């Protein structure tokens, strides 16, 4: 995609989302179940869409929530359902719709106190901590489209393992929800909004206290506080706004917090590369406001709207590349968690930097490479087989200090706080730390190209086979591997990866937006990277 004139600039007022229109459309518009774009569709992170194009409306939420209730009965899940929402404008109406169905189905639900907001990782943390000692299994729902534009809504289901539901679960829920819509909602059980909010099985819950108190068991909060380093925390108007305030007060941190009031237009944001308003904390364009403040703080960070991703800003480099930070976090944690077993491995997605492999090799740790999607790390974290699971899109989680599981969903809060711990303990910010890694292992050039794609084109890329690649070399080097399944677990990539000695590329459609992505990396240099990208683009043109 070419650079938009508004990239990195504060959102122009004429581009702000019309919130009244958005919410009105949520209730008024009715999806056409015969239109594939208006059906319930679970991507890598649940169902997402907008009420303005009939892909996220009251009917969808009624149906998908009823489908979750039906799935719970089928799976024998009878414990508490923990529910959280983010600050997108459609999230609160969607929560109210979901509560109407959950209340009528007799599900025991916990929502945040005082109409509050709850980050995705906090729901995962609540599920896991309750299931550790509960006689019956708990699960959860998070209503969020993550970092997507303000006009979008999203709905995610987390089963009792606390992480994103696998495709066997989401496929069932998706099919059941669409069947309910097609049958004109005859199987829907729901209360009125007033009945739901007054139902005995819908209760308010303190999510903030237990999570904030427990942070000391996963992050060295004492070292951060004792160091006195000046921290800038950009809540980015998201679900964790109240959490940073509570963390600052509880642990006595020298931390400034900003963008911590509700603004569902996200007018304080800067436009992303394509000119869209997108709360992507891994984008230097979207994060331009925080980057401009980097000299004011020893370390600064921001999070996307549901706080499952992290963006780390240092004095040394500004916004650190997510791949670079993953490498730093892995290297630091492996050497600063003495209670962890030495045989614990490292989980990475196959589109993450090969720098992780080089760091892991020096640490004598096994790398488990999986497809895109945090769900692939759930078993490894739960069973204590990996100490870290991370994605190139700035999402990761890791174990508690004692080696037990913390969360099985991405946790942008602990990754943000870890950057402060690294600085407090090593006296180097993550940017400086990464430079030392490059001196040991080389300097990779990495980039991702996004381009628009139709649903038909996305389907082509999702179902690629080895036979689709006729080339014998990649940017002057013999091709060593063509992968359609991840080497770490044998699961389908939903795309394809081509690997040579000093470079690779991967093609895959987005699971959340109508685009495809080309990931590429070179350990030779920028020119070699460009050559890899050009050859990858030529392959895509041939496929389309």
How far apart, in whole angstroms, are the C-alpha atoms of residue 505 and residue 286? 25
Is residue 135 within 8 Å of 141, Cβ to Cβ? no
How far apart, in whole angstroms, are the C-alpha atoms of residue 290 and residue 421? 20
How far apart, in whole angstroms, are the C-alpha atoms of residue 116 and residue 240? 10
Q: Give the contacts of 48 (CB within 8 A, at least 6 positions apart).
A: 55, 56, 145, 148, 152, 153, 154, 155, 512
Q: Give the contacts of 167 (CB within 8 A, at least 6 positions apart).
A: none
Q: Give the contacts of 57 (CB within 8 A, at least 6 positions apart).
A: 25, 26, 27, 29, 30, 31, 51
- Is 419 strand, coil or helix? helix
Residue with tokens 């929402």: 85
Catalytic residue of the set 97, 146, 151, 282: 146
| CA nearest neighbour of 157 among 41, 46, 304 | 46
- Report the DSSP beta bridge partners of residue 508: 517
- Is 347 strand, coil or helix? strand
Active site annotation includes 146: yes
∠ Cα 371 376 381 (to 5°): 140
Three-class SS string for 297-314? CCEEEEECCCCCCEEEEE
Q: Give the contacts of 269 (CB within 8 A, at least 6 positions apart).
A: 10, 11, 236, 237, 277, 278, 279, 286, 289
Going by their DSSP bridges, the two strands 515-522 and 503-509 should be labelled as antiparallel
| DSSP state string for 174-228 | HHHHHHHHHTTTTT-----HHHHHT-TTEEEE--HHHHHHHGGGTS-HHHHHHHT
∠ Cα 166 276 284 (to 5°): 85
How far apart, in whole angstroms, are the C-alpha atoms of residue 438 and residue 435? 5
Catalytic residues: 146
């Amino acid at each position: 995609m070419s650079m938009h004139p508004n990239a990195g600039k504060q959102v122009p007022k004429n581009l702000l989302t019309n919130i009244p229109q958005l919410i009105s459309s949520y209730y008024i518009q009715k999806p056409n179940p015969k239109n594939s774009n208006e059906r319930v569709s679970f991507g890598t992170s649940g169902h997402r869409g907008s009420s303005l194009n009939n892909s996220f409306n009251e009917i969808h939420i009624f149906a998908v929530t009823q489908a979750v209730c039906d799935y719970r009965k089928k799976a024998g899940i009878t414990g508490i359902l923990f529910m959280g929402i983010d600050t997108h404008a459609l999230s609160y109406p969607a929560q109210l719709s979901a509560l109407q169905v959950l209340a009528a189905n007799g599900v025991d639900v916990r929502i945040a106190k005082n109409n509050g907001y709850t980050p995705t990782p906090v729901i995962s943390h609540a599920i896991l901590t309750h299931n550790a000692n509960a006689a019956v299994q708990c699960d959860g729902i998070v209503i969020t489209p993550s970092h997507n534009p303000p006009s979008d809504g999203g709905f995610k289901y987390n089963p009792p393992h606390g992480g994103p539901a696998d495709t066997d679960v989401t496929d069932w829920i998706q099919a059941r929800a669409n069947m309910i819509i097609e049958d004109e909602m005859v199987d829907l059980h729901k209360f009125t909004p007033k009945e739901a909010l007054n139902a005995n099985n819908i209760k308010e819950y303190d999510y903030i206290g237990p999570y904030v108190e427990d942070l000391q068991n996963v992050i060295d909060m004492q070292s951060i506080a004792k160091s006195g380093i000046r921290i800038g925390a950009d809540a980015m108007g998201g679900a964790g706004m109240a959490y940073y305030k509570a963390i600052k007060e509880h642990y006595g941190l020298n931390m400034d917090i900003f963008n911590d009031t509700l603004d569902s237009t996200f007018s304080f944001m800067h436009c992303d590369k394509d000119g869209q308003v997108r709360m992507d904390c891994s984008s230097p364009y979207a994060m331009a406001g925080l980057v401009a403040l980097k000299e004011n703080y020893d370390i600064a960070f921001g999070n996307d709207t549901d706080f499952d991703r992290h963006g780390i800003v240092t004095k040394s480099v500004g916004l650190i590349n997510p791949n670079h930070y993953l490498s730093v976090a892995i290297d630091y944690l492996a050497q600063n968690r003495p209670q962890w077993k030495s045989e614990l491995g490292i989980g990475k997605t196959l589109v993450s930097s090969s720098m992780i492999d080089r760091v892991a090799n020096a640490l004598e740790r096994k790398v488990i490479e999986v497809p895109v999607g945090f769900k692939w790390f759930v078993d490894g974290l739960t069973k204590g087989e990996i100490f870290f699971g991370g994605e190139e899109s700035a999402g990761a989680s890791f174990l508690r200090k004692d080696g037990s599981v913390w969360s099985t969903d991405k946790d942008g809060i602990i990754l943000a706080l870890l950057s402060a711990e690294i600085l407090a303990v090593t006296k180097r910010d993550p940017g400086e730390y990464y430079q030392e890694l490059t001196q040991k292992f080389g300097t990779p050039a990495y980039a991702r190209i996004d381009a628009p794609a139709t649903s038909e084109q996305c389907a082509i890329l999702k179902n690629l086979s080895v036979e689709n690649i006729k080339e014998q070399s990649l940017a002057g080097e013999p091709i060593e591997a063509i992968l359609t399944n991840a080497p770490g677990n044998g699961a389908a990539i939903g795309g394809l990866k081509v690997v040579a000695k000093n470079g690779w590329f991967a093609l895959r459609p987005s699971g959340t937006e109508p685009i495809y992505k080309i990931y590429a990396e070179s350990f030779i240099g920028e020119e070699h990277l460009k050559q890899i990208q050009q050859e990858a683009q030529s392959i895509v043109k041939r496929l389309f």
